[in-house]
A and B are shown apart, each in its own frame.
Chain A
């Protein structure tokens, strides 16, 4: 009944704890708001502990997929409830479990009901329950080795995300501001429709995959493809690849499918924006590595030139548009688009440094964006405005806030010594080995990143103190508890990325062998 390597269904439990926690949180009575918050926080910490156990029990040198579980689920569709993690999955589960407690803590007051609300409307319980539900689905999707199971989670997580974006706005805009409510619901609908359309196109490809392969097991299909017992016609493989890739490119997001992200991140509260870009979007890039490359290696190689070009456009375009933003949160969103360009570039550079870099990039981008965005959220909640022009001289009034904001910003621009530097460097080196021109163009993204980050800091934090900013309080203990650990992790991983690279590198070697098995280009060239 159980899988081979473990008798205790650790992976299921890791995902089930937040799921059950979500239901319990939602069931807390309306009046016991604070209890619901503490419950959600405890559940997310318990999940973090479980993720830590997963990380510890994972043996980097061992089997490709570990801690596997496998049960029959829907026999008729050839679907199994099949879990297993490789190093990439472990790293991203750790990222998710690490970030969610901070998201909850940062959003502590984001969903307090207004005095005017109906007594039966329980936004607080809903908010934290939805966050935990997203966490559960994201973790399970990092664990799923059954394509159908993954697809279900990929789609289902849109629903709680959608309610988080549309249902909870900045406190700054809450209440009577009809316009803000309309924009928020527009952003939520745009998010959902983009991702749903992507998902439905993937559904067609999932069905197509079933028709050619007869089951949904990632390991089985990839194995059958590798030993030649499953032949897929070249054109079919390409169509299937495109169906999958489209969905992941919407989610990731890749230019030109990115336009939902600035809306969603701009209108959502800062913690929810972090959830979108640092956690949920990672499912897209993760799935490119696991499913696009794992299932369709030939088609992936076929599509690489086009994808590299799109990734480069994402990098440069995202950064350029970020420079021109007047809204802090939208700026971070466009910066994220640029960073996702780097991740996708690293994945499709098809070199081991590129892919290791891309995986590290996913983790580091998650943490650094969380740090920057959450501090920005604290700032915005103080002043009640998202516009850069409404700020100035904050560092004189709230030095700790400004300092942490700077560190978050420096992490975003990949300053050496902070974690993202390592990953960005690896991606660039890996890309350069195969596509020198692309490597050079991608480097401009770094220059632009320095521009938008430092200009943002300069305009908001330095200069004369604006009148409305004069009374802004500095970070409170709760907010410090959010920011300080994140910065500590960033610096730790910047100086000592080994724990992460140890886990990730073997997994990347597996993925590389997936793709390169029939590739005439020797690995040696990539490793130079």
Chain B
């Protein structure tokens, strides 16, 4: 396009905008029913803030738990309704003026996130683990978040029996953001969704009742690094806009393919510039890989997982991963299929680093939460292997893996909350010695989760791992499969070490006790075990579900 033409069209653009009356801007067309899952959760989150403001303190806990569970369940029902109505397959389309995709992967991931969140909210609501403090039942969260740790103010709050019921609105807002994240169909929606779920998570991380300084440190680290990665993402979005003249996935994909007809006159100088595309894309990818916890963007994971209140860690590890992988899949499969040959080598490298890095560093860990953090990094690597397949079976295998993994993770962290000593949760591994002799059932349950993490057959971990490796091998990434099995072997070592510790070591005299949880945590753990075994023994139904859900709308 020649320079004068650009100038004139720019001119036209401005003058048209000035002349056209404002009333002519059409009202946005929003398909409210199709967005119902998100809307229900956002609505409940707003309501939940009001509950926090107006309901008396003693009634808040009950009201919040009830509201949260109800809203999440209703949203899940809406997802199921949409899927049953064919929005996952035949009626899949782009809703809300091109901002949100309603399609199979989006609904599958939203369903997974909602189920995982319900289980996670159960662990948030647990109030039986700590001994009653000044006659008040307490949960895992700080008595008053604003009180300086160790101050008189804090002591007063504890004496008064305050609890931070704000965690429930936070969780709901986070869930709302996570629901949008994998469904976002333009880059700005993606970014807003990212912020909507990240900000509450930063806060949640800071709210631990015990070890508050560590918890706050974790939150600050998470916030700073998260903000940094958000900045990368945003900058990348800007560059991609410069490249394509639009933030819409479909348009960018068209420009990448070279099929786009019209060029945004304002961007004639930059549109189609591959440097912008590659740099912008790399930055967006960085932002997503940060959330996924892939090496080399994983540095925050162990600190945050360790410092955050354990129920929050479980929630983060499960739901965030699902949402972030969903967004990553959509970005790679919808926006950049034309760039597959460019991103695959990079992702190969990231996947190999992530699998090996997570598994190797995990060996040296002595804290159970850090260990699980590194294990989650290794799992992100396995998931990336499925992502790299760039085939429909790659999508469905990642979807299946995410579903399987999130329940194992929440269950495992829920078990961690049970093992306690005088200082709260006993997360140092040495304290877990001989747990199998003192509490065979809890240890056996945790062993099931560890075996699932290790990918031993007859657990969901194996089905998931097999699915992603199969997809990777079919997609021509056989070498990745070999690295995958090798790092599985390395990873098996530290999972087994924990089992050895629990079952074959003599219990220590001053070892931790296992708290008897209320129905909330019991349900969460039971759900974890049930899903782990069900997906291990009879995964076909869920594989079918993932298969049906594996087509992105464009």
Contact = CB atoms under 8 A, between A and B. Distances in A.
Interface of A: 72-77, 117-118, 120-122, 151-153, 155-156, 158-159, 162-163, 166-167, 178, 181, 184-185, 188-189, 192-193, 196-197, 200-201, 203-204, 207-208, 210-211
B84 to A, nearest CB: 22
Contact of A155 (B456, B482, B493): B456
Interface stretch (B195-203, B218-226, B536-544): B536-544
Contacts of A158: 456
6 contacts: A155-B456, A155-B462, A158-B456, A159-B456, A193-B493, A207-B466
Nearest to A206: B466
Chain B residues touching A, majority SS: helix
Interface string B525-554: 000000000000011100110010000000
A181 B504 contact: yes
Contact of A76 (B438, B462, B482, B547): B547
Given A76-B543, A76-B547, A118-B437, 12 more contacts: A76-B467, A76-B544, A121-B440, A156-B457, A159-B456, A193-B489, A193-B492, A196-B492, A200-B485, A200-B486, A201-B485, A208-B481
B547 A184 contact: no
Contacts, number: 105
Nearest to A149: B457
The 8 A-B residue pairs whose C-beta atoms are closest, nearest first, are A152-B457, A76-B543, A200-B485, A185-B504, A197-B489, A155-B457, A166-B504, A156-B457
B342 interface: no
B157 interface: no
Interface residues of B, number: 40
A188 B481 contact: no
Interface stretch (B42-50, B92-100, B468-476): B468-476
A74 B503 contact: no
Contact of B473 (A184, A193, A211): A211
B257 interface: no
Contacts of B366: none
B500 to A, nearest CB: 5
Nearest to B451: A159
Contacts of A75: 540, 543-544
A76 B478 CA distance: 19
A151 B438 CA distance: 34
B361 to A, nearest CB: 18
A155 B469 CA distance: 17
B457 A163 contact: no
Contact of B504 (A77, A184, A207): A184
A200 B505 contact: no
Nearest to A239: B478
Given A200-B485, A207-B470, A117 B437 contact: yes
Contact of B482 (A77, A117, A121, A204): A204
Given A74-B543, A155-B457, A207-B473, A122 B489 contact: no
Contact of B505 (A72, A151, A185): A185
Contact of A152 (B458, B478, B489, B505): B458
A483 to B, nearest CB: 30
B506 interface: yes
Contact of A208 (B478, B484, B488, B507): B478
A188 B507 CA distance: 19
B9 interface: no
A51 B535 CA distance: 31
Given A74-B543, A155-B456, A155-B457, A208 B473 contact: yes
Nearest to A211: B473
Contacts of B505: 181, 185
Contacts of A163: 503
Contacts of A189: 493, 496-497, 500
Contacts of B469: 203-204, 207
Most chain B CB within a 10 A radius of its CB, from A118, A196, A200, A201: A200
A118 B463 CA distance: 36
B439 interface: yes
Contacts of B466: 77, 203, 207
Given A74-B540, A76-B540, A192 B506 contact: no
Contacts of A156: 456-458
A77 B485 contact: no
B540 A73 contact: yes
A120 B496 contact: no
